[in-house]
Amino acid sequence: MAIVTVYNFKVRNSQRGTYEVAKAKCPRETIAEMGLYGRIIEGTGEEVEDSLLTESKRYYRSTASPVPLAQWGPLVAAQSNPGVARSA
């Protein structure tokens, strides 16, 4: 199986006019396809097997994931600002 790097990213909430941290991680190419609606959060890369991606190329952390929660929580806090949702 192939290994891919997935990243946290922000998506545009058009109703609020803000960017919010998405609940999933995606490969850089998938985020780029979102155009202005997706913004990668650099430094959040994680290598996972491509078989763990959904059909829409999203990776949702499971409780069985080997990635410690510490790598998900602080990165969101470090990137947060008013109007940005916090997710773990």
Which residue from 75, 65, 53 is spatially nearest to 6, judged by alpha carbons?
Answer: 53
Which residue from 70, 57, 68 is spatially nearest to 9, judged by alpha carbons?
Answer: 57
φ/ψ bin of 21: left (φ > 0), alpha (ψ from -120 to 50), beta (otherwise): beta
For residue 28, the surrounding DSSP H or E stretch is: helix 28-33
Which pLDDT belongs to residue 86? 42
State the chain's mean pLDDT as an integer.
Answer: 79
Mean pLDDT over residues 65-70, rounded?
Answer: 52
**Where does the pLDDT of residue 65 fall: very low under 50, low under 70, confident under 90, or very high at 90 and above?**
low
**Where does the pLDDT of residue 80 fall: very low under 50, low under 70, confident under 90, or very high at 90 and above?**
very low
| DSSP character at residue 75 | H
Report the distance separating Cα 53 and Cα 28, nearest Å: 13
Which pLDDT belongs to residue 63? 52
Say how many Å lie between the first and final Cα of the chain, rounded.
27
Q: Is the pLDDT of residue 76 over 80?
A: no
Mean pLDDT over residues 1-30, rounded?
Answer: 93
13 burial class (0-12, 13-18, 19+ CB within 10 angstroms)? middle
Sequence spans of domains, the chain: 3-79
